[in-house]
Copies of this chain bind each other. A is one copy, B any other.
Amino acid sequence: MRDVAIIGVGLTKFGELWDKSFRQLTAEAGSKAIFDAGIEGKEIDAMYVGSMSSGRFVGQEHVGALVADASGFSHLHIPSTRVEGASASGGLAVREGYLSIASGLNDIVVVGGIEKMNDVGGNAAIETLVTAADQEWEAFFGATFPGIYAMIATKHMHDYGTTKEQLAQVAVKNHANGALNPYAQYQREIKIEHVLNATTVAYPLGLLDCSPLTDGAASIVLCAADKAKEYSNKPVKIIASGQASDTLSLHGRRDICTLDSTVNAAKKAYKQANLSPKDIDLAEVHDCYTIAEICAIEDLGFIEKGQGGKAIENKITTLDGSLPVNTSGGLKSKGHPIGATGVAQIVEIALQLRKEADKRQVKDAKIGLAQNVGGSGATCCVHIMEAM
């Protein structure tokens, strides 16, 4: 397989973007990434788009072709493909773009991720989000994701003594980081009391334990690594891409506190990169709920199983800790436009490795990891990146 590097990144502001349409958001993120890479449209060999449920959110499937068209490339007839894996859609789109270059077929590929979640009425957002769960075994019986992750949290509290305060500290840390990120939906710090006193959504998860509904898009430009320096003086190499699946519904797992898709995707990624968890300098993980970040740092091998809560309490994952996690603010504070999230995580790692993360820059960051999860863990995608 050929090596692949990131030569351009682009983000829209994340948030409630009532005045921007789905196609405007994709074109904005894409054109920023293309401008950052300094490429022309005719140099693009293919495009990949991650979107979870554009069909339900905005009544538009076929968004691979839409994105190529909205970007002004219809006359170039660029192959453009949508990839979906619930909230892992963005990570999977990056992986398909990566493989298409690794195969030798393409040299330059633009990958985008997009979701517009706020332009829907009534219960449509929650009804759409639960299509990522198992319809026959979960959604039909009324389960929604806050409840599903609440079950993971209560089991984690029961088995390992994890506390509501430790969960809350994930949100506090991520808001502190998000306050430093001009693209984040919530650019303000919160205190632990805010999280503990927030309305309960599904015990033990309160409103501030949950990531929000977000509109936004993210984009990266990938290039065959041996040509990357023709375009960028600070390319970032993707040194591993791991993916794995698990049961769609939570009840079938051997242990609901462990996402075996993460464990397996990470195992493949570490093997490909010839690295171990201790070699990672920073990580973006899928904190759709605060408990998810605790499970993630355990399942990725950074922290012993069950000790995630204590690691948060001990500030290991803060911006100046030994392993900064979610420097972007994470899904919690930066926002979670489902299909865009996996791409935006990789944008953050690339900015950090390019030393362009401004006030949230991690010192001496050389190797970063992004973990993107679909549903309650039926899909996981792990990428590891290194400054070239």
A66 at the B interface (CB under 8 A): yes
Distance A260 CA – B104 CA, assembled complex (angstroms): 25
User: In the complex, which of the residues A62, A82, A100, A136 has the most CB atoms of chain B within 10 Å of its own CB atom?
Assistant: A62
Cβ of B82 and Cβ of A139 under 8 Å apart? no
Distance A62 CA – B80 CA, assembled complex (angstroms): 20
Distance A56 CA – B58 CA, assembled complex (angstroms): 12
A247 at the B interface (CB under 8 A): yes
Q: Which residue of B lies closest to A253 (CB)?
A: B74
Cβ of A21 and Cβ of B65 under 8 Å apart? no
Q: Is the interface of A mostly helix, strand, loop or mixed?
A: mixed
Contact pattern, A 222-262, Cβ under 8 Å of B = 1, otherwise 0 = 00000000000000000000011111100010000000110
> Which B residues touch A23, using CB under 8 A?
136
User: In the complex, which of the residues A1, A82, A139 has the most CB atoms of chain B within 10 Å of its own CB atom?
Assistant: A82
Distance A23 CA – B260 CA, assembled complex (angstroms): 22
Which A134-163 residues have C-beta < 8 A from chain B? 134-136, 139
Contact pattern, A 99-137, Cβ under 8 Å of B = 1, otherwise 0 = 110111100000000000000000000001001111110
User: In the complex, which of the residues A60, A64, A68, A243 has the most CB atoms of chain B within 10 Å of its own CB atom?
Assistant: A64
Cβ of B85 and Cβ of A246 under 8 Å apart? no
> Which B residues touch A82, using CB under 8 A?
83-85
Distance A53 CA – B59 CA, assembled complex (angstroms): 10
Query: Looking at the complex, which of A198-206, A302-310, A353-361, A373-381 is the stretch in contact with chain B?
Result: A373-381
Cβ of A1 and Cβ of B55 under 8 Å apart? no
A171 at the B interface (CB under 8 A): no
A289 to chain B, nearest CB (A): 17
Contact of A243 with B131 at beta-carbon distance under 8 Å, contacts A62-B379, A103-B103, A136-B21 already known: no
Cβ of B261 and Cβ of A62 under 8 Å apart? no
Distance A128 CA – B128 CA, assembled complex (angstroms): 15
Of B56, B66, B95, B264, the contact of A56 (CB 8 Å cutoff): B56
Distance A79 CA – B92 CA, assembled complex (angstroms): 10
A77 at the B interface (CB under 8 A): yes
Of B69, B100, B374, the contact of A245 (CB 8 Å cutoff): B69
Cβ of B65 and Cβ of A378 under 8 Å apart? yes
> Which B residues touch A64, using CB under 8 A?
84-85, 92, 245, 379
Cβ of A79 and Cβ of B243 under 8 Å apart? yes
A86 at the B interface (CB under 8 A): yes
Of B62, B132, B375, the contact of A378 (CB 8 Å cutoff): B62
Distance A235 CA – B82 CA, assembled complex (angstroms): 29
Cβ of B83 and Cβ of A83 under 8 Å apart? yes
Cβ of B60 and Cβ of A135 under 8 Å apart? yes
A323 at the B interface (CB under 8 A): no
Distance A74 CA – B376 CA, assembled complex (angstroms): 14
Which A291-344 residues have C-beta < 8 A from chain B? none
A96 at the B interface (CB under 8 A): yes
> Which B residues touch A134, using CB under 8 A?
66
Distance A66 CA – B104 CA, assembled complex (angstroms): 30
A52 at the B interface (CB under 8 A): yes
List 10 A–B pairs whose Cβ atoms lie within 8 Å, in order of A's numbering: A53-B61, A59-B131, A59-B139, A65-B246, A65-B248, A69-B246, A80-B245, A83-B83, A84-B84, A102-B104
Other A-B pairs, 4, CB within 8 Å; known A64-B85, A83-B83: A56-B61, A65-B248, A68-B245, A77-B246
